[in-house]
């Protein structure tokens, strides 16, 4: 991948953010490091999207230590919820549940108020870590302590957590009672869990009750049932 410094483009934060995002998608750490050096050499202000994209690049490329080093340096200059959330999501998406949960606590101690994205990251981490009580505690704290109304992604994380642990009834009940129309992927995740836990009766009932809007959705549901 060619870096902006060698492309002849006018170098500004927008160009570097685009290049960093490309590195994040391709997991190209070497080019990402070069971009970081070029940003410093070009005197690009490391704030806002530029700062978050830099932390995100290191996180997506598997260099969590460097992501945290950059975060620690930049957050001292300016408190930015986007920067905090980017670091938290880097932990969560890397499977580092304890670090993600601890980071949320660190955020509050710093005086930065978590928002719905912060809790999406923590609930995602709890879901993939398979820790039901901790996930439930954070879901409840989000509502009671931080007065954040759960959005579809929060309910989806909790339903997925129930399903992964074999609590299929609880997962189904949550999806049916949530104040949003469940996304199709939420139902297919539950159907996949029904397959994994051998609950063919529930899977058949779910498949029958759903009304897929597209032929591809119908094929996916049929495929899930066939594998039971």
User: Taking 60 as the threshold, does the pLDDT of residue 212 lie above it?
Assistant: no
* 105, pLDDT greater than 50: yes
Checking if the pLDDT of 4 tops 90, the result is no
pLDDT > 90 in the chain, percent: 77
Report the alpha-carbon distance of residue 25 to residue 61 in Å, rounded. Answer: 9
pLDDT tier at 7 (50, 70, 90 boundaries)? low
Rounded CA-CA distance 114/116 in Å is 7
Give me 40's structure tokens. Answer: 């410093």
Instruction: Specify the pLDDT at position 111.
Output: 93
pLDDT at 39 over 50: yes
pLDDT-derived band at 205 (thresholds 50, 70, 90) equals confident
Going through 74-220 in order, the beta strands assigned E by DSSP cover none
Once rounded to an integer, what is the mean pLDDT over residues 50-55? 96
Q: How far apart are CA 56 and CA 68, in angstroms?
A: 10
What digits encode the pLDDT tens for the residues 64-93? 999 999 999 999 888 899 999 999 999 999
Within a 10 A sphere around the Cβ of 8, how many other Cβ atoms?
7
Average pLDDT over residues 132-137: 97
User: What is the structure's pLDDT at 223?
Assistant: 60
Q: What is the mean pLDDT of the chain?
A: 90
For the beta carbon of residue 57, count every other beta carbon within 10 angstroms.
Answer: 31
In whole angstroms, what is the distance from residue 145 CA to residue 210 CA?
35
User: Do 218 and 208 form a contact (C-beta atoms < 8 A)?
Assistant: no
Would you say residue 214 has pLDDT above 80?
no
User: Residue 198 corresponds to which tokens in the numbers above?
Assistant: 């051998």
Cα gap 31→83, rounded to integer Å? 21
Among candidate residues 191, 184, 175, the one with its CA nearest the CA of residue 216: 184
Question: How do the domains of the chain map onto residue ranges?
Answer: 10-78
What is the sign, positive or negative, of the torsion defined by CA atoms of 46, 48, 50, 53? positive
Distances (CA, A) of 208 to 181, 201, 203, 216: 17, 11, 8, 16
Average pLDDT over residues 135-143: 97
The SS3 of residue 134 is: helix
Mean pLDDT of 4-10: 57
């Amino acid at each position: 991948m060619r870096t902006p410094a060698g492309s002849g483009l006018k170098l500004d934060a927008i160009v570097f953010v685009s290049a960093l995002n490309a590195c994040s998608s391709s997991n190209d750490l070497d080019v990402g490091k070069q971009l970081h050096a070029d940003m410093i050499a070009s005197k690009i202000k490391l704030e806002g999207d530029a700062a978050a994209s830099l932390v995100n690049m290191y996180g997506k490329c598997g260099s969590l230590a460097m992501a945290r080093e950059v975060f620690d340096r930049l957050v001292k200059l300016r408190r930015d919820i986007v920067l905090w959330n980017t670091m938290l999501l880097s932990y969560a998406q890397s499977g580092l549940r304890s670090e993600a949960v601890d980071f949320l606590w660190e955020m509050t101690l710093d005086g930065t108020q978590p928002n719905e994205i912060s809790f999406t990251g923590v609930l995602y981490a709890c879901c993939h870590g398979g820790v039901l009580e901790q996930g439930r505690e954070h879901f409840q704290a989000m509502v009671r302590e931080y007065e954040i109304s759960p959005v579809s992604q929060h309910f989806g994380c909790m339903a997925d957590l129930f399903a992964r642990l074999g609590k299929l009834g609880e997962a189904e009940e949550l999806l049916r009672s949530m104040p949003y129309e469940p996304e199709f992927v939420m139902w297919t995740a539950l159907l996949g869990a029904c397959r994994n836990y051998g609950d063919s009766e529930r899977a058949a009932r779910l498949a029958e009750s759903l009304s897929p809007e597209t032929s591809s959705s119908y094929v996916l549901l049929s495929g899930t049932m066939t594998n039971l």
